[in-house]
Amino acid sequence: MTNKVVSIAAAGILAATAAPAQAQFAKPEDAIKYRQAAFALIGNHMGRINGQLKSNAPNVQVIQSSAALIETLSKLPFEAFIAGSESGGNPPTRAKPEIFKDAAKVKSLAEKMQAEVAKLAATAKGGDINAIRAQFGEVGKSCKACHDDYRRD
């Protein structure tokens, strides 16, 4: 009887974790809100780092904290590009329809951005403002690569 209970529990856990990303969102509008929130937070912390890098006396702790948060946040928005979330939202999605049609390229761009953000977080830990500034530029380029093709102005 114990094996049967364990088997049923394992099957339930497997079914729950194998659910597609779409099941994580009750409505496509929820996916839009989720990814917009993640991108807004990323943008906020990129702005904080940029402000520090433009300062005469950059606060390395602020940069380190924001870089670490961006590293975590960079993994969030891409699971929310689900079917049905191509339009709508409040505010309306800025995602171009092409982002939903070119999964391999989007995945590659997302991975590139995430790798550059991880390098930024590691560089920030070292505290060298010039190195942070250079890596921050690389992160910006990786973000722009996706924005150019897949984000409406």
Residues ≥6 apart with Cβ < 8 Å to 78: 35, 106, 107, 110
The whole-number pLDDT of residue 66 equals 98
Give the pair of three-digit tokens for residue 29. Answer: 């509008």
84 phi-psi bin (left φ>0, alpha ψ -120 to 50, beta other)? left
Query: Region 101-127: what's the mean pLDDT?
Result: 96
The per-residue pLDDT for range 68-82, each reduced to its tens digit, is 999 999 999 999 999
Tell me which CATH code domain 25-150 carries: 1.20.120.10
Domain ranges of the chain: 25-150
Query: Region 27-50: what's the mean pLDDT?
Result: 97
Smallest CA-to-CA distance from 147 within 103, 110, 92, 116 is with 110
pLDDT at residue 22 above 60? no
Q: Please tell me the pTM assigned to this model.
A: 0.83
Task: Tell me which residue has tokens 């940029």.
Answer: 50
The per-residue pLDDT for range 87-101, each reduced to its tens digit, is 999 999 999 999 999
Cis peptide before 91, with omega less than 30 degrees from 0?
yes
